[in-house]
Amino acid sequence: MFTAVEMAPRDPILGLNEQYNADTNPNKVNLGVGVYFDDNGKLPLLQCVQAAEKTMMATPTARGYLPIDGIVAYDAAVKSLVFGADSEPVTSGRVATVQGIGGTGGLKIGADFLKRLSPNATVLISDPSWENHRALFTNAGFKVDTYAYYDAEKRGVNFEGMLASLNAAAAGTVVVLHACCHNPTGYDITAAQWDQVVAVVKAKNLTAFLDMAYQGFGHGIAEDGAVIQKFVDAGLCFFVSTSFSKSFSLYGERVGALSVLCADKEECSRVLSQLKIVIRTNYSNPPIHGGAVVAAVLNNPELRALWEKELGEMRVRIKAMRQKLVDGLKAAGVKQDMSFITTQIGMFSYSGLSKDQMVRLRSEFGVYGTDTGRMCVAALNSKNIDYVCQAIAKVM
Ligand code: LMR
């Protein structure tokens, strides 16, 4: 029955974890997947999460099915975080938010809904983009193309190219935009450039799908989410996927969401009803624990403040590691100016290293990054930084 089944390639990101786990090199360092580790190389369990769980465990509850669209208090908290608690979209009831299985789940619910709505639309992702964007939208049945984004020579965004690509897109094209902390490059567009993107999305009648997986890792929670208001102000209806994997260090709980801004409350209830069908026919309804923890933190002022503090500490530590990486590479003998690493933001650095160099880093030094040259600077620490710098210097 399965004789014709071909071996699929390893996942370009999560597949590296498998290789890393099997590597016996005692000095190995995993800079592949986008996961934050503290200075001791440990995955943090946030204090705010522990406090919420302690309260929850004090009064254990039975585990019935959740509603298809998830925990009511969770969906409300996501809406408030993304759009603002007192914002017009929230108070007028025109945001449809559903709990998702991580940010990927939010994207997939949106993709499946869009496929029913606009079956012939093309999806545009940035060049380059998160590896899974292309796969996810392709598997949802879309033709996936790219818009210009990264300028390797300039080490920044090819904004003219980006605008030209968007201007050339047919009406109804779905444009996947990274709300902040662009994955994989670490280069975001400026607020003024966002204004221009919003204007093109509106003028050309494109559908914006904002992927917000790293809110709080760039400049701050509000700063990183500011782009949402620009789309609201332009009077657009759009999609936002949210992930709490990184910002709550709850990777394995798969806590995310999809929000769809609709024209009015009545339209919103129709959209929500369709999102629920997508969910019901995929996995029925979401799991409880992660969503309950995030809701407990976001809806409690003290825990929320603690979360903001802890997230801020992660952001600051990543920035410090960027500087240490630049300094360490110089000390290791790299002649090239690597200061671009400190102008990138978020968890990643697009190093500019070739596939061959990345393969050498893995095989000779046990330093894992993606073949595209992406490295997760959030996994660097004071103990592994020198080793990583020496290894990079040797392959450069
Ligand atoms: C990444 O880009 O490494 C993360 O978003 C994890 C993933 O699922 O790929």
CATH code where residue 68 lies:
3.40.640.10
pLDDT value of position 331: 97
pLDDT value of position 363: 96
User: End of a domain among 239, 274, 300?
Assistant: 300
Residue 54, in any domain of the structure: no
Q: Which CATH number characterizes residue 388's domain?
A: 3.90.1150.10
Q: Token pair 């897109």 is at which residue?
A: 169
Residue 58, in any domain of the structure: no
- The C-alpha atoms of residue 244 and residue 265 are separated, in whole angstroms, by 27
Q: What is the pLDDT of residues 27-74, one digit of tens each?
A: 999 999 999 999 999 999 999 999 999 999 999 999 999 999 999 999
Residue 181, in any domain of the structure: yes
One DSSP character per residue, 315-328 reads: HHHHHHHHHHHHHH
Indicate whether 76 and 184 sit together in one domain. Answer: yes
Cα torsion through 115, 119, 124, 125, rounded to 10 = 20
Other residues' Cβ atoms within 10 Å of the Cβ of residue 267: 14
**Residue ID of nearest Cα to ligand 1 atom 5:** 34
Indicate whether 112 and 256 sit together in one domain. Answer: yes
Please tell me the distance between residue 13's alpha carbon and the centre of ligand 1 in angstroms. Answer: 6
Domain count of the chain? Answer: 2
Q: Using an 8 Å Cβ cutoff, are 149 and 158 in contact?
A: yes
Nearest atom in ligand 1 to 183's CA: 2
Please tell me the distance between residue 331's alpha carbon and the centre of ligand 1 in angstroms. Answer: 30
Strand-strand pairing, 255-261 and 239-243: antiparallel
Nearest atom in ligand 1 to 13's CA: 9
Query: Which residues are paired to 348 by β-bridges?
Result: 376
211: annotated active-site residue: yes
CA dist 25 to 300, 322, 332, Å? 44, 25, 21
Tell me 288's DSSP state. Answer: S
Of 69, 75, 188, 211, the active-site residue reads 211
- The C-alpha atoms of residue 174 and residue 201 are separated, in whole angstroms, by 10
Indicate whether 274 and 323 sit together in one domain. Answer: no
Please tell me the distance between residue 366's alpha carbon and the centre of ligand 1 in angstroms. Answer: 20
Residue of 132, 250, 372 best suited for mutating to test ligand 1, as the one with most atoms within 8 Å of CB:
132
Q: What is the pLDDT of residues 312-359, one digit of tens each?
A: 999 999 999 999 999 999 999 999 999 999 999 999 999 999 999 999
**Residue ID of nearest Cα to ligand 1 atom 9:** 13
User: End of a domain among 255, 277, 300?
Assistant: 300
Q: What is the pLDDT of residues 140-157, one digit of tens each?
A: 999 999 999 999 999 999
**Residue ID of nearest Cα to ligand 1 atom 2:** 34
Of 75, 79, 115, 130, the active-site residue reads 130
Q: Please calculate the CA angle 175-249-230 and round it to the nearest 5 degrees.
A: 30
Indicate whether 141 and 224 sit together in one domain. Answer: yes
User: End of a domain among 279, 300, 321?
Assistant: 300
pLDDT value of position 5: 97
Range of the domain at 84: 63-300
Residue 372 Cα to chain centre, angstroms: 17
Amino acid at 258: L
pTM for this predicted structure? 0.97
Nearest Cα to 98, choosing from 291, 296, 248?
A: 291
Residue 108, in any domain of the structure: yes
Please tell me the distance between residue 282's alpha carbon and the centre of ligand 1 in angstroms. Answer: 21
Residue ranges of alpha helices (H) inside 118-213 are 131-139, 159-167, 191-203
The beta strands (E) that lie in 271-377 are given as 348-350, 367-368, 374-376
**Residue ID of nearest Cα to ligand 1 atom 1:** 34
Residue of 36, 130, 217, 348 best suited for mutating to test ligand 1, as the one with most atoms within 8 Å of CB:
130
Amino acid at 30: N
Q: Using an 8 Å Cβ cutoff, are 200 and 193 in contact?
A: no
pLDDT value of position 366: 97
Residue 3, in any domain of the structure: no
pLDDT value of position 7: 96
pLDDT value of position 380: 98
Indicate whether 354 and 375 sit together in one domain. Answer: yes
Cβ-count burial 355-388 (b if 16+ within 10 Å, e if not)? eebbebbbeebbbbbbbbbbbbbbbbbeebbebb
Task: Assign 26 to helix, strand or coil.
Answer: coil
Indicate whether 215 and 354 sit together in one domain. Answer: no
Of 108, 246, 307, 324, the active-site residue reads 246
pLDDT value of position 237: 98
Indicate whether 278 and 330 sit together in one domain. Answer: no
Beta-carbon contacts of 103 under 8 Å, excluding residues fewer than 6 positions away, are 211, 212, 213, 241, 242, 243, 245, 256
Strand-strand pairing, 156-157 and 348-350: unpaired
Indicate whether 180 and 294 sit together in one domain. Answer: yes
Indicate whether 352 and 222 sit together in one domain. Answer: no
Indicate whether 293 and 318 sit together in one domain. Answer: no
What band does 300 get if pLDDT is binned at 50, 70 and 90?
Answer: very high
246: annotated active-site residue: yes
pLDDT value of position 91: 98
Residue 244, in any domain of the structure: yes
- The C-alpha atoms of residue 113 and residue 140 are separated, in whole angstroms, by 9
Please tell me the distance between residue 269's alpha carbon and the centre of ligand 1 in angstroms. Answer: 32
Residue 52, in any domain of the structure: no
Residue 269, in any domain of the structure: yes
Indicate whether 164 and 217 sit together in one domain. Answer: yes
How high is the mean pLDDT of the chain?
97
The residues lining ligand 1, judged by C-beta closer than 6 Å to any ligand atom, are: 13, 33-34, 130, 132, 183, 213
pLDDT value of position 381: 97
pLDDT value of position 286: 98
Indicate whether 278 and 344 sit together in one domain. Answer: no
pLDDT value of position 306: 98
Return the biggest CA–CA distance within the chain.
63
Nearest Cα to 130, choosing from 59, 65, 181?
A: 181
